[in-house]
Homo-oligomer: A and B are copies of this chain.
């Protein structure tokens, strides 16, 4: 079992979860503290904290302490590119499945 492949899977797994996607999306504008994040994504504080910790541990988020508050930010701009690419896959799948376009005609106007 290649360890590199496992690390790669871990990074992708850090993004492949609805609650974490909501967090990352909320962080598009930059650093936010936990107290801003969990109300914005409408999740429990404890659950939000766990996901933030998960992503920080896996190298996706940076953590900064300022007094009582902890600020998190997305560390790698590639994260947003990945999500945007995955979004375009989803959009195309939805179009193809709804019969709007044929599978072979991706991207053509």
Residues of A within 8 A of B (CB): 1-2, 4-13, 15-18, 21-22, 59-60, 62, 75-76, 78-79, 81-83, 85-90, 92-94, 103, 106
With A82-B85, A85-B78, A90-B4 as contacts: A18 and B12 at CB distance below 8 Å? no
Copies in the complex: 2
> Which residues of B lie under 8 Å from residue A18 when comparing CB positions?
1-2, 5-6, 8-9
> Which residues of B lie under 8 Å from residue A88 when comparing CB positions?
78
Q: Which single member of B8, B22, B94, B106 contacts A21 (CB below 8 Å)?
A: B8
Contact: A12 with B59, CB < 8 Å?
no
Task: List 5 A–B pairs whose Cβ atoms lie within 8 Å, in order of A's numbering.
Answer: A5-B18, A12-B15, A13-B13, A15-B16, A78-B88
